[in-house]
Structure 1
Amino acid sequence: MKLTSAFFHLCMLMACAIVAQARQLPDLKTILDPQKNNPVIEIPAGKYQLNNMVNGAYLFANLNNVEIRGNGASIICNSQELAFRFLNCTNIKISGFSIDYDPLCFTQGVIVAKDPGNTWFEVEIDPGYPIENVRNARVQFYDPNTRQLKRNSITTGEGHYSAFQHITGTRRFRLTKNNPWVAYEKVGDLVVLDVVSTKANPAAHAFQLEKCVNATVEDVTIYGSNSFSFFERDCRGTHYNRCKVGRGPVAPGMPARLRSGNADGIHSSLASIGPLVENCDIKHNGDDCIIVCGRSFPICRIDSATNSIYLLSREGNLVFYAGDTLQHVLFAGIKSGKAKVQAFEPYTPSVAERQAVMAMYPELLFQANYTRGARITLDTLPAMAIGDMIYNESHTGKGFVIRNNKVGYNRSRGILIKSSNGIVHDNEITGTAMNGILVGPEIHWMGGGFADHVEIRHNRLFECMFEKTNPGMPPGALSVFCANGPQIPSAGAFGQINVHHNTIQKSPYPGMVFTSVIGLQQSANNVAPYPCGSREHGKRFNTVFTVPVWEKNNTP
């Protein structure tokens, strides 16, 4: 229905009033600063502005046995960047508040025009939503009737478009495709796009723990983020309880929000002991809901005289410590020997070293960014070759527990595991465009962690794998899957995987997929038939689509 000019003007006035109100909120920094040395830090009930536009993220560093009580407070950030950073903290508890953004970290609207030749479409932004600093980094299509992600569609990014234009004097954006790809979008569909900070290189995520031990995060709600909502890196034993990532409130007259955070909900990376995530509600975010992972690195040089290996990396600040255990993985994707770190130092790989490895990994993402590296001296040097992989087994989140959570309504996976010695149980996973539960190292991401001793039980999966068919995507609503390029490794990528008493409904066959496992046990799982038309996710791996469970290269 077309808005009248009077109603449109009213919506704009209300939106401006909300922005003005946010600017008049009490400043949170003046509440927190005087309490820096207190064993209990109180945020009184109320609504506050966190002025991260001027001050950046609020930093809590080197806290020990401190409790931060939110008392139900609402915290509004005025820049689409990190809100809170916790660094080198031990035995802290953070509870009882919500984080939101004004301006939001995304905007949304409706497709009002589309080229019959399928080369462009135009989006009219909804009243009250931002039209400044809009980007096409993550463009998602929603059904106008359900207001959920559009079925049999895809999420697109900047690489899908040759042009992105704000039409002067309007609330419209035109997105011109780089080729006539199909997301089955049509006039009337809803679209979400990213909104970015005006600051150069704004810090990513909303809530970050780094090098923290035994942190408890309880009853914290995040309604938006420029990337991950909750992010932890190099932590130990974090406990998330009753946390939420969800679609936030709107002012009267504004259409309801379509998205929560722009990327992952809870992302645990490189933990020495994995997180306990329980009773959380993680939905409507722009990528995976819950992920536990490490990081893998291709080997570019070997020096047997000094027991040293040289690794390629696309990031700095790598997590390796003396005494850590490294897992060696053959290029074929099978785990091999282990070794201990004796020394670690940064290393800049040569062009020839980079080219040699990239030739072996043509599907590796972000290849141009693999300009850094590390030299690691080991206590012993397993037999290995250029192109094999290494990951830090001591920092993959081993010992994780993911239980009693409700996740979904997102464009990718509900729960993604790249770790070992953990359990995923009694979770409810609904409406994931990709796998509901995926256990896999994702070699093209160098995600790290080839799982061992993982139990998956009593989970309920409903309406997963609804994205448009992707022949290269891991198949299965519940999937334990490894592939290097088109090749599925023989048994040995995973070990001792036990999957039982899970139910899968309204998801395409095969509902469960298991590959490359030594010691696979599966029993008492229920996969309901669901004739959903053409869905051939994973076709490049010769997946069989007529059976509830598909296995390849496993041993008992």
Structure 2
Amino acid sequence: MSDPHPTITRRTLLVGTAVGAGGAALAAPATAAVAGSAGAVGPVAAAGGAPFRKDFPVSSRGAVPGQPDSGPAIRQTIADAAAWTAAAAKNTARVLFAPGTYRVGDDGTPSWYAIELTETARIALVGDRTEILLLDPHKGGIAITRSTRVSVSGITLDYETPPFTQGVIRAVDPDTATFQLELLPGFPSLADRALFGGAGYGTLHDAATGLFKRGVQSTFAVSYPAAPDADGRWTFTVDPAHRGRLADIAVGDGFATGYRGDRNGIALHQSVDTTLEDLVIHAAPGAAVISNNSEATVLRRSTVDVRAGSDRWISTNADGYHHHGGRRGPTVTGNRFARLHDDGMNVYSQLRALDALSAGGTALHLAGGSAEVAVGDTLQIVRSSDGTVRGTATVTAVQGDPRAATPLVVTVASVVPGAAVGDHVFNRSYSASGFTITDNTIEETRGLGVRMKASNGVISGNRLSDLTNWGIWIANDTAYGEGPIGSENLVVTGNVIRRICLDQTLVPWPSSSAAIMLQHFTASYTPGVSRVHRNIAISDNTIEDAPRFGVYLGAATNATAAKTAITVTAANPRSDQPSAHFGLENLKNGLVIRATIADHQSPPRAAVWRGPNLQNTTVLHVPGA
């Protein structure tokens, strides 16, 4: 008997990806009645008779909530939908899930993800009070690769076994810089070397509440053996760099550590116009959502947090939303991120190293890397040792496949003076320009709120609180190869930032530590010499208990901080000097205007600290200035 659900082939998938953004729009999310049609036995014609849309209930391939493993049936249903959309440019498909929990196991392949959509187009995964419970903590959840106009909505992702572990510290030995950890029931063993490589970092917690421990260094670099001690506990050795804060670790503290790698809750790679909405992610081996070299990604109305009643102390092992590359930036709006083991959001582009120069310096031989390059792009060349921008040049020719992450030879229109082997090369045209980050909540998280290197965007209406690190960081990360160097045309407005730098070692570090920080860094996070930012408007933000500075403006031309409301409570930790409500350094055409300040510390902070290299920089209507 012929199969009514034809097997998808690479050829049909490639046909599907030939359709660009001009294809038929994705249909609206399914109603509960359609999504819950467990009795359907095959593709269902769309309501109203839409001729180019088909619904594919996962039940048509036998997926049922509660069964031991619905993974094979879900994967086959997605393949059915992909074959339909590949057959004609107008076709769209919805893969429908009923209410309930679908258990999804390992597919027996080397794939990093439990569910994959590769080279597909115009497919919506639609849940209705649906949970996907992942059975293998070594794999990510959903991967969307080289696809166009895919959406995922109404689905909760969680892991049966969390991809991290946690326990209670039972002994501390200052002489050997070690502590013993008793793992809590239900969490994986450190003997699992796929999850736990023997070294990494972990965080201190209040073992009763699971919250990050206050008033201490939050994060410690550690190493640990492959087997427990005779009593079943695990001995951790604190890295020499952190032994000066060993006294922060006490018997009875909680400690959590997890996998850091390339498995994430939802991962996008080289995909365009992906929409993720109304999702819940309780755990992930890496980031909750990562968007790699993808464009116009939308993440909205979603939650990343621990499952209520689970006794877990962290949700994801990495960022809430992590984005690099792409010609059109993401839209991240109306989400809530909590209990992350790294930053709330990070938006940037990756570098390619300059391996050689030829043709009098107009031919740049670039090492392999994920940053794509095309004719007409603007490349930025940066001295790797200190982040100094040597200059920019326009691309006139590209040899090699820029999407394959292999080496390229790029011809530019003009020589960049001083360019040298070993420099970092960023593509400013492929750096998530045009992003929107609005109305998100980021709280109780190890890391900072928003880490930004992109341009032409808005950060507004976000609520950031109880973070171990800083609030909004507009600066490069030379040590991690994240750039480009300098943001332009940003609006940062209406954000509320409270109780950040819970990690006491970050109150004074770096020297520009602030609730909102605009800076240029060297590889060692000292201030760089370039004025790399341009046209930055910071206004109407509310800050409570900032670290060294409330707002820091540095390394910029045309930067403004207006109508900032700053409160400092009496108990807010003091920081190294200088410390002030506003810090100014290496600015041209800077302006601080109309601040309200309520400082309850004694003595109060200075209103403004003025550092070197200030040109035409003015402070008006700031109390105490």
User: For this structure pair, what is the TM-score category when the shorter chain's length is used for normalisation?
Assistant: 0.7 to 0.9
**Which amino acid in 1 is paired with 2:500?**
C
Quote the Cα distance in structure 2 between the aligned partners of 1:306 and 1:466.
Answer: 48
**Which amino acid in 1 is paired with 2:531?**
G
How big is the shift at 1:27? 1.1
Determine if contact 1:164/1:176 at 8 Å carries over to the other structure: no
Quote the Cα distance in structure 1 between the aligned partners of 2:415 and 2:483.
Answer: 20
> What are the within-5 Å matches in structure 2 for residues 174-189 of structure 1?
174-179=235-240, 180-183=243-246, 184-189=248-253
Alignment partner, residue 483 of structure 1: 521
Quote the Cα distance in structure 2 between the aligned partners of 1:341 and 1:407.
Answer: 42
Alignment partner, residue 340 of structure 1: 395
Shift in CA distance, 437/203, structure 1 to aligned 2, threshold 3 Å: closer
**Equivalent residue in structure 2 for 1:441, among 476, 479, 488:** 476
Shift in CA distance, 518/261, structure 1 to aligned 2, threshold 3 Å: same
Shift in CA distance, 384/311, structure 1 to aligned 2, threshold 3 Å: farther
Quote the Cα distance in structure 1 between the aligned partners of 2:179 and 2:107.
Answer: 33
**Which amino acid in 1 is paired with 2:557?**
I
Alignment partner, residue 130 of structure 2: 73
Determine if contact 1:438/1:478 at 8 Å carries over to the other structure: yes
What is the CA RMSD across the aligned residues, in angstroms?
2.8
Determine if contact 2:380/2:389 at 8 Å carries over to the other structure: no
Whether 2:177 is the aligned partner of 1:119: answer yes
How big is the shift at 1:100? 1.1
Flag structure 1 segments of 5+ consecutive residues without an equivalent: 1-21, 197-201, 348-370
**Which amino acid in 2 is paired with 1:185?**
I
Shift in CA distance, 164/139, structure 1 to aligned 2, threshold 3 Å: farther
Shift in CA distance, 245/116, structure 1 to aligned 2, threshold 3 Å: same
| SS across alignment from 1:511 | strand
Whether 2:207 is the aligned partner of 1:144: answer yes
| SS across alignment from 1:429 | strand
Quote the Cα distance in structure 2 between the aligned partners of 1:472 and 1:554.
Answer: 20
**Equivalent residue in structure 1 for 2:549, among 503, 507, 510:** 510
Determine if contact 1:144/1:190 at 8 Å carries over to the other structure: yes
Quote the Cα distance in structure 1 between the aligned partners of 2:445 and 2:472.
Answer: 13
> What are the within-5 Å matches in structure 2 for residues 270-309 of structure 1?
270-305=325-360, 307-309=362-364
How big is the shift at 1:25? 2.9
| SS across alignment from 2:505 | coil
Quote the Cα distance in structure 1 between the aligned partners of 2:169 and 2:431.
Answer: 42
How big is the shift at 1:511? 1.5
1:198-231 superposed Cα distances (whole Å, 9 cap, x missing partner): xxxx852121111221111101221111111101
Whether 2:74 is the aligned partner of 1:31: answer yes
Alignment partner, residue 274 of structure 2: 215
Determine if contact 1:120/1:176 at 8 Å carries over to the other structure: yes
How big is the shift at 1:396? 0.9
Shift in CA distance, 181/424, structure 1 to aligned 2, threshold 3 Å: same
Q: Percent sequence identity over matched residues? A: 20
Shift in CA distance, 297/68, structure 1 to aligned 2, threshold 3 Å: same
**Equivalent residue in structure 2 for 1:550, among 583, 586, 610:** 583
Flag structure 2 segments of 5+ consecutive residues without an equivalent: 1-64, 85-92, 590-625
Quote the Cα distance in structure 2 between the aligned partners of 1:292 and 1:317.
Answer: 15
Alignment partner, residue 8 of structure 2: none
Alignment partner, residue 469 of structure 1: 505
Determine if contact 1:509/1:529 at 8 Å carries over to the other structure: no
Alignment partner, residue 242 of structure 1: 301
Determine if contact 1:165/1:173 at 8 Å carries over to the other structure: no
Alignment partner, residue 520 of structure 1: 559
Quote the Cα distance in structure 1 between the aligned partners of 2:312 and 2:276.
Answer: 25
Alignment partner, residue 467 of structure 2: 432
Alignment partner, residue 540 of structure 2: 501
How big is the shift at 1:122? 0.7
Whether 2:508 is the aligned partner of 1:453: answer no
Quote the Cα distance in structure 2 between the aligned partners of 1:54 and 1:411.
Answer: 34
Determine if contact 1:334/1:490 at 8 Å carries over to the other structure: no
How big is the shift at 1:488? 2.2
| SS across alignment from 2:219 | coil
Determine if contact 2:229/2:235 at 8 Å carries over to the other structure: no
Alignment partner, residue 6 of structure 1: none
**Which amino acid in 2 is paired with 1:75?**
I
**Equivalent residue in structure 1 for 2:102, among 48, 61, 86:** 48
Alignment partner, residue 263 of structure 1: 318
Quote the Cα distance in structure 1 between the aligned partners of 2:120 and 2:438.
Answer: 28
| SS across alignment from 1:398 | coil
TM norm structure 2: 0.73
How big is the shift at 1:178? 4.1
Shift in CA distance, 486/229, structure 1 to aligned 2, threshold 3 Å: closer
| SS across alignment from 2:185 | coil
Shift in CA distance, 344/206, structure 1 to aligned 2, threshold 3 Å: farther
How big is the shift at 1:173? 1.1
> What are the within-5 Å matches in structure 2 for residues 524-539 of structure 1?
524-532=563-571, 536=575
Determine if contact 2:325/2:371 at 8 Å carries over to the other structure: no
Determine if contact 1:320/1:341 at 8 Å carries over to the other structure: no
1:302-329 superposed Cα distances (whole Å, 9 cap, x missing partner): 324361123456xx44422333321234
Shift in CA distance, 382/505, structure 1 to aligned 2, threshold 3 Å: same
Number of residues of Structure 1 aligned to a counterpart in Structure 2: 493
How big is the shift at 1:384? 3.2
Determine if contact 1:433/1:465 at 8 Å carries over to the other structure: yes
> What are the within-5 Å matches in structure 2 for residues 151-166 of structure 1?
151=214, 152-157=216-221, 160-161=222-223, 163-164=224-225, 166=227
| SS across alignment from 2:394 | strand
How big is the shift at 1:75? 0.9
Determine if contact 1:476/1:510 at 8 Å carries over to the other structure: yes
**Which amino acid in 2 is paired with 1:293?**
Y
**Greater Rg over alpha carbons, structure:** 2
Determine if contact 1:32/1:43 at 8 Å carries over to the other structure: no
| SS across alignment from 2:73 | helix
Quote the Cα distance in structure 2 between the aligned partners of 1:515 and 1:466.
Answer: 24
Quote the Cα distance in structure 2 between the aligned partners of 1:143 and 1:106.
Answer: 17
How big is the shift at 1:522? 1.2
Shift in CA distance, 341/505, structure 1 to aligned 2, threshold 3 Å: farther
Question: Larger deviation: 119-128 or 419-428?
Answer: 119-128
How big is the shift at 1:534? 5.4
TM norm structure 1: 0.82
Quote the Cα distance in structure 2 between the aligned partners of 1:53 and 1:150.
Answer: 39
Alignment partner, residue 398 of structure 1: 433
**Equivalent residue in structure 2 for 1:83, among 119, 126, 141:** 141
Determine if contact 2:387/2:478 at 8 Å carries over to the other structure: no
Quote the Cα distance in structure 1 between the aligned partners of 2:555 and 2:262.
Answer: 38
Determine if contact 1:508/1:530 at 8 Å carries over to the other structure: no
How big is the shift at 1:261? 0.5
Determine if contact 2:66/2:100 at 8 Å carries over to the other structure: no
How big is the shift at 1:49? 1.9
Determine if contact 1:322/1:340 at 8 Å carries over to the other structure: yes
Determine if contact 1:213/1:237 at 8 Å carries over to the other structure: yes
| SS across alignment from 1:516 | strand
Shift in CA distance, 443/373, structure 1 to aligned 2, threshold 3 Å: farther
**Equivalent residue in structure 2 for 1:231, among 270, 273, 290:** 290
Quote the Cα distance in structure 2 between the aligned partners of 1:346 and 1:227.
Answer: 28
Quote the Cα distance in structure 1 between the aligned partners of 2:168 and 2:182.
Answer: 5
Determine if contact 1:325/1:341 at 8 Å carries over to the other structure: no
